[in-house]
Structure formats: structure tokens, C-alpha cells
Structure 1
Amino acid sequence: MSRIQKGKGHNRIILKWLMGWVCISILLFAIIGFTATIPIGKRASHPMLNSLTEDFDSSIYLTLLATEVKPLSYHFKDKLPNTSMSEFFLQFITKLNYSDMRTLFGNELPGFHPYQHRIIIGQEGTNYSNLPVESSAPLDIILEDRIVVDEVVEIDEEELEVEEQSVFIYNTHNRESFLPHLDEVKDPNAAFHAELNVTLISEYLKKNLANKGIGALVDQTDFTQVLHDNGWEYWQSYQASKPIVEEALAQNQRVNYVFDIHRDSRRREDTTLTISGEDYAKLFFVIGADFEGNESNIEFATVLHEKLEENYPGLSRGVVAMGGAGRNGVYNQNVSDNAVLIEFGGVDNTLEEIYRSADAFAEVFAAYYWDAEPTSGNE
């Protein structure tokens, strides 16, 4: 054997060795990356599985099924994407979607993540830089005792009795509170209180709707305590509230509207509007982007926004679909076509300002309700 032939053979061995190490390195990085995305202690949990699969369209799973069940490829050929298995595994491992360049930058560039959401309809001044910010403080911070500056604003108006209850109101982040009412609390991430919180908005709205002939159920579950008792984390709040919503709808067949009341973590300049010399807390309608059939929820929220715009221009900041990594993306809205999350003001708003907005919302919703269901109170 000549030296040239020996040299070529030696080169082939080196090339195969290098290729082998490259393949091993890629596999190793993939395994490390996959493992790093799984929260410690939750490697077999449903939230973990959701986080791994939330970025994939349902058509991807249909494609996988069609490879085994051939008739599916004929019945659903118009819905099957032209996605190769290599593209699927690339997306699974890297969370990158070649058809959406936002996924390339969304988790790498500071401040770019909000651009993964979709503004359905926005008021002047509403943009991707001031979308609602979901509270994300550690649970021990939320559970801290805090002193209230002043007494809770009393609701003087007497509540009328309404037999039929067609609205369900609850508060997934039930301890979200307001800085003006908390003594020596300046940090928006510490604006929480066990009693003076968004549940007061729900009760106020219930009484307001009752006086307009609309019955509402208000859930008072302390979901923050539920998280603590179960050893869960704050990002699992919707997991805690979902059974309550499902039970309320199952036991009350006439309930057709579901409102999850929150307050934004945005500051006063983004969440306050002056009308006729009085300050109001702005509203923002949030729809989950990560479940099929949310078109009905979007339509419902859009109608409410437009009706607010007709009567109180600028009071609603708009409608946004939010989802993707780091967010729930469903918000329990898959239980009803008329389920919506509503942000009432922000951390700097007072209850007086929020109650004015609740008055406006109740007025607008009542007009919508009686127009859409003219016989609701007469059956």
C-alpha cells in the first residue's frame, strides 16, 4: 500500500472521528437544553408537559398521527402543514419556528418578548411596550402582612336581589392590591394585600350589575393561599382557579359570562384617564392566545371595548391576545365563549378611580346584555 493510500485512509478515520464527536456534541447539547427547561421537582407534572408542547400548532400532532394512521392524511390533507420531521425536531429542541422570525429573537433580546403577543385592537398610545404586565412576585412576598393606609372605600348602594345569575366573577390573582392604599409600600412588585385587593372590585361590580337587573356570582377563594397549601408556585395560579370556574359553570347552567378581574402592574401614566375632571382607571381586555376557539372570546372582548369607546372614549386600552412561553396563554377561557380577563387599572390607581371605571363597565355591559339576551330576566 502506497503512502498516499495510507494517508487517505488516515484522513477518513480522522473525518469519521470528528463527525462522530460533532454528532455526540449536538446530542449532548440537546439533552442538556431539554433538561434545563424542566423545572426541578416538576419533571413529570402537567405544567411541564404543557410548557414543552405549548409552542406547537395542533396541525403538527395531526401530522404525526397521519404518519401512522394513513386515512387521516386523506381526510385532513388541506390542514396538514408541509413540515418535515427534521423541522419538527428542530422546533422541539430549540423552540425556534422557521416560519416566525420572532421566535429567533423573542427570548434573546431584552424587551422583545412582548412582540410575541398580538394586539387585536388598541387605543391611541397602546403598543407592544406597554401591554399588561402580569404579577410575578415570589409567593412569600405576596403572603406578607402589610398595613393599609386608609379604610376600605364603603359601597353605599344597596344591592338588589336578582334570582337568575348569569355572570360569574372571580380573581385568579386575588391579592393584587394598590400602592396608594398600602402604608410605606413603594415597590409595584410588593403591591399585595390579603383583604384590600381586587376582590373588592368583583363585589362592587356584582352590586352594580344587580342594580341593573343582572345577577352575578362572585367567588371569594383565596387562590394565593391555595397555592401555599399545595406547595405550588405563583405561575400555577390558573391551575388553582380552573376547578372553581368549571364547578361554577357546572352548577349554574344559566351562567353565560365569565370575568376574571385583575389589576395591571403598569404605572399610573399607562393606566389612568381623566374624564370631566375625574380620574378613571383604564381597562384592558386580555384573551388567551394558546387555545383553539378563542375567536369567540376575542369577538366578545372587542364588542365590550367598542361599546366603552362609544360612551367613554379612551377608557379601554384595547384587546390583546397573550400567550407563548412564560404565560398561561389560556386563562381558563376555554370553558366559555364569553370568558375574558379584565385588567382594572394598575398599581398606582385608587379604589375610587377603579369604582368609577366599574360603574362605566357595568353600564356598558348591561346595555350589551339586555340587547343580546332580551328575555334573560323574564323566563
Structure 2
Amino acid sequence: MKEKKNTSILFIRVHWIYLSLFFLIFSISFFINFLDLKERLNSSIITATSEKVHTNFFLRLMSTEIGPLKSSIKEEEEPSISQVVFHTFINIWPEDIRTFLGREIPGFSTFNTEIAIAGLGTDLTTLPIESAPPLEMLLKEKEQAEKDQDQPKGTEEKGASPIPKTGKDVAYIYHSHSWEAFLPLLPGKKTANEAVSLNESKNIIAVGKKLKEELMKRGIGANHSTSNVTEELKKKNWNYNYSYALSRETVKEVMAQNSSINYLIDIHRDSQPKKLTTTMINGKPFARLFFIVGKENINYERNLALAKELNKKLEEKYPGISRGVFIKTKDDGNGVYNQDLSSQSMLLEFGGVENNNTELDHSIEAFAEIFSEYYWDAEEVSGNEG
């Protein structure tokens, strides 16, 4: 009788522990989100933990209040409370070797990138590579770059543009890393880390300019930033890590001045070699592109859906043009990429360091074609077609 009583007491204590833990987590989540803090409980660590914790753990928590749930609990091995707490705070999972090495080996955290949709040849060995900009090199190059520039620095391209069918700008094209350039346009440069330039005709700004032109031809109004991010960072005494904070200021300012802008397109280029970033489609060379979606913001699901839909349409018409859709958290990138500012945001990477203008132009035209079809279809469905 005494043994039975002790068992009952132990049973009651365990259930009270489950219940207390549940309310503790709920209370912390409620207050953090209620206070509208910038950092909410959407950490990739918490998400990863909840995904790996056995279902029975949550069922047991809820069954303390909802009796019928006990019948749903399968008698299988499940982690203890101590294991769950350990995994959450240490972020190490014995079955995944990457969790042991991710913070110890430089660059290994790249493998935390989630592949939402894998393009042809895409796997953990061909993930995108982002190279840090050698700011000193860029600043030394400034004088020569300004002499070579085809357009005045930091201004919009001049000349008559077609009047968009939209009657207003609905897309904003910008570059958080405006220094990213292409080796074929930089004589004497041979390595990925050297593929940087302040010259707007040789860096990623040229891709944005071309995309704006192609969208305008298809009746879609677009605003394009040619801001020299390197110089702006220098003015604020900010380093490379603040590049998204800088572009965020610009995006918010433009959106405040132009409420019709819904689509945000941050354009980059990858650092992978040509064999991974180039493909032939119908006898024409294309610089392959891909989408990056930040997971650490409230618009994650909708932005992911947008990227998947555009990726699907691109692959249907231009098989092999996309390397896929990638999801990044703060463990392996910025995690937000200003995508919290609009539920129609995308970070789009065109080609890599070894792609040339012909390959890039073909891909820009293809994307503009697919995006315009998507845009006008969406407008027709919503009844807003101009």
C-alpha cells in the first residue's frame, strides 16, 4: 500500500513538472511578444528543438489537462525533460555531426542553410558562398573607378523610360552588397575575393539597372537604387556586417515616400565558380539564379511561398536556370534580409563571380518575363489590373 502511495505521489509530481514547464514557456512567449520587442521567440534554435523533440513529450504535457489525449500516446522511447533542456540551450544533437562542428570550423555554419527547393546539381556541397568585401581594396580603387564609370556615381540612369502600365512604381530594386562584381569585367582580377568594384557598369548595380529596364518594358514600374554601399558604410564608420542595416534605412525611406511599392528585390551574385553558376538552355548560355529566404521574420511563410512560385514558373519555362530556394537563419546569415518590411520580398542572386554580361542578360530577361507574368496574373485575380 505504501509503495502504491509513493508511486502516486511521484506520478503527481512528474505531471506537475510537465504542467509548470508548459506554463513557464507559454508565459515567457506571451510577455516577449506582448511587449513587441524587436527580437521575438522565433529563434532557429527553439524551432529546431521543437521539431526534434518526440511528439509524446508534448502530448504528455497536454494530457495533464486533456485526459483523452493519453490514449494517443505511443509507448516509444522519448527524450527526458533534462535532454530537451540540454538540447535547447546547448544546441547540440548527437545524431547530427554538424551541430558539434558548426561553431568550431570557420565557414562550417554555412551547412545550416536549409534547401527548400534543390535545383539541378544543388546539394550541401554546392551551397551558395558569400565572400566578405575587402573594403580597403575598394576604397583604394575609388579614384580609378570614378574615372571609368559610364554613369555619374549614386544617381539614377538618365534617358526616357517607357511609361509603366502600372502607372506607378510597384517594385524596388536595390543592392545590400553593391560592390559585388564579375571577374570577366575586371581585367587582371582572378579570384572571387577580387571580384569587387565601385564601377556601376561592372558590379551588381548593372544587373539591377538591366532588370529595371526589362520590367519597365513589360509595363511594371520599378525604382532602382544605385547607392554606393561601400561609401555609405564608411561615412557611418560601419563595417560589412551592417550592410543590411544600411540598406534597410534606404528601403524604409523609399517605402514611406512611395506607398505603391510592394515588391522588394535585393540583388546579389554568388561566389561559386562558373561550372555551378552557368547553364545552356536552348543553345543560349544563362547565369543561373536562386532565391534566399530569411526565416527570422514575420513574413517568412509568405516570402517563401513567393520564392517557390517564381522558382516553379522559371523552371517550367527555362529548365535548369535555378539553383533552388534556400532558407537562412541567424546561424548561417542575416536571417531577416529586410524581408520583414514586406510579404513580397526576395533576395535574388544572379550568377557568380565568373559570369559575363551575355549570360547575365539572358537570365535577367528570363526573370523579368516570369515575374511580369506572375505580377499581371496576380493583379487580374485581385481585380487591380490597370
Q: Which whole-Å CA distance do the structure 1 matches of 2:47 and 2:273 have between them?
A: 37
1:137 aligns with 2:114: no
Is 1:263 the counterpart of 2:259? The answer is no
- Is 1:168 matched with 2:157? no
Matched residue of 1:357: which SS?
A: helix
1:214 CA drift (Å): 0.5
Greater shift in the superposed pair: 139-148 or 277-286: 139-148
* Residue identity opposite 1:139 in structure 2: L
User: Which residue of the partner structure matches residue 255 of structure 2?
Assistant: 249
| Partners of 2:314 and 2:337 in 1: CA distance | 23
Q: Which amino acid aligns with 1:130?
A: T
1:200-239 equivalent positions in 2, closer than 5 A: 200-239=206-245
Contact 2:109 2:332 in 1 (8 A): no
Tell me which amino acid in the other structure corresponds to 1:314: G
User: Compared with structure 1, are the counterparts of its residues 311 and 55 closer, same or farther at alpha carbon in structure 2 (3 Å cutoff)?
Assistant: closer
Give the deviation of 1:329 after TM superposition: 1.1
Aligned partner of 2:46: which letter?
D
Which amino acid in 2 is paired with 1:123?
A: G
**Identical aligned residues as a percent:** 36
In structure 1, how many angstroms separate the alpha carbons of the residues matched to 2:140 and 2:362?
29
Q: Check the 8 A contact 1:286/1:340 in 2, yes or no.
A: yes
Amino acid at match of 2:116: I
What is the Cα deviation at residue 255 of structure 1? 1.2
Gap change, CA 1:144 and 1:57, over 3 Å in 2: farther
CA deviations 1:242-290 (Å, max 9, x no partner) are: 1111222222221111100001111100100112322110001111122
Q: Deviations over 1:6-44 (max 9, x none)?
A: xxxxxxxxxxxxxxxxxxxxxxxxxxxxxxxxxxxxxxx
The equivalent of 2:120 in structure 1 is 124
Q: Residues 144 and 289 (structure 1 numbering): CA distance in 2 closer, same or farther, change over 3 Å?
A: farther
Q: Paired residues, what number?
A: 308
Deviates more, 1:179-188 or 1:138-147: 138-147
In structure 2, the CA distance between the partners of 1:89 and 1:139, relative to structure 1 (3 Å rule), is farther
Post-superposition offset of 1:128: 1.4
Note the C-alpha offset of 1:110: 6.7
CA contact (8 A) 2:303 2:346 kept: yes
- How do residues 195-344 of structure 1 correspond to structure 2 at under 5 angstroms? 195=199, 196-344=202-350
**SS of equivalent to 1:249:** helix
Q: Report the TM-score when normalising by structure 2.
A: 0.71
Q: Secondary structure at the match of 1:334?
A: coil
Q: Supply the distance in 1 between the matched residues of 2:91 and 2:140 (Cα, whole angstroms).
A: 37
Q: Is the 8 A contact 1:142 1:190 kept in 2?
A: no
Secondary structure at the counterpart of residue 141 of structure 2: coil
Distance 1:194 1:122 in 2: 33
Q: Distance in 2 between matches of 1:256 and 1:283?
A: 22
Instruction: Report the counterpart of residue 23 of structure 2 in structure 1.
Output: none
- Offset of 1:59 from its aligned partner? 11
Residues 287, 298 of structure 1: 8 Å contact kept: yes
Per the normalisation by structure 1, the TM-score is 0.72
Structure 1 partner of 2:35: none
Match of 2:46 in 1: 57
Structure 2 counterpart of 1:287, one-letter code: V
Which segments of 5 or more consecutive residues in structure 1 lack a partner in the other structure?
Answer: 1-48, 61-72
